[in-house]
Amino acid sequence: MESDFEKSVREFLARPPFGLRGLKAEQLALFCEALTHDSFTNEAADMDPPRNVPSYERLEFLGDAVLEFLVCEHVYKETDIVEGPMTDYKQDKVANHMLSQRIVERGVDIDSVMRVGNGHRKGNMKVIEENMRADCFEALVAATYLCFGLDEARRLVHSVVL
């Protein structure tokens, strides 16, 4: 039986820009990991009994590279910008504050589904910083890439970032 968190992740992924349905258990687990901040992971390790809940950090590492590659591919193939400004274009698209802004503007409500520890809560409200939102999105790009391949990751990046 799925947890409430797993159900919320399925609902989140069914909506645009993802549009993913019918995830297998191992795919769902990867997306749950992508939506788990290390503050939650640290608190889960201190529970009685301790729980091993992976955070998005490893996926973020891969997602950062996939995101940069896809933005670089786009600027190379779809523009005639020269090398110096190409770097500026890429940085504008992948910088955490700009990425976070685009996520919010596109209505990708990562904040509502991300698991965070108590240090990122004020009462019943989550406090999601722009770096956390951007890092989580990079982890979601990685999970998309690992589960569905580069073309699906490209579609996601184009719909949110480009």
Catalytic residues: 64, 138
What span, in angstroms and rounded, lies between the C-alpha atoms of 116 and 55? 10
Q: 103: closest CA among 128, 70, 74?
A: 128
Q: 56: closest CA among 131, 117, 120, 140?
A: 140
What span, in angstroms and rounded, lies between the C-alpha atoms of 162 and 111? 21
Torsion of CA 70, 66, 152, 98, to 10 degrees: -70
36 pairs with which residues across the strands? 115
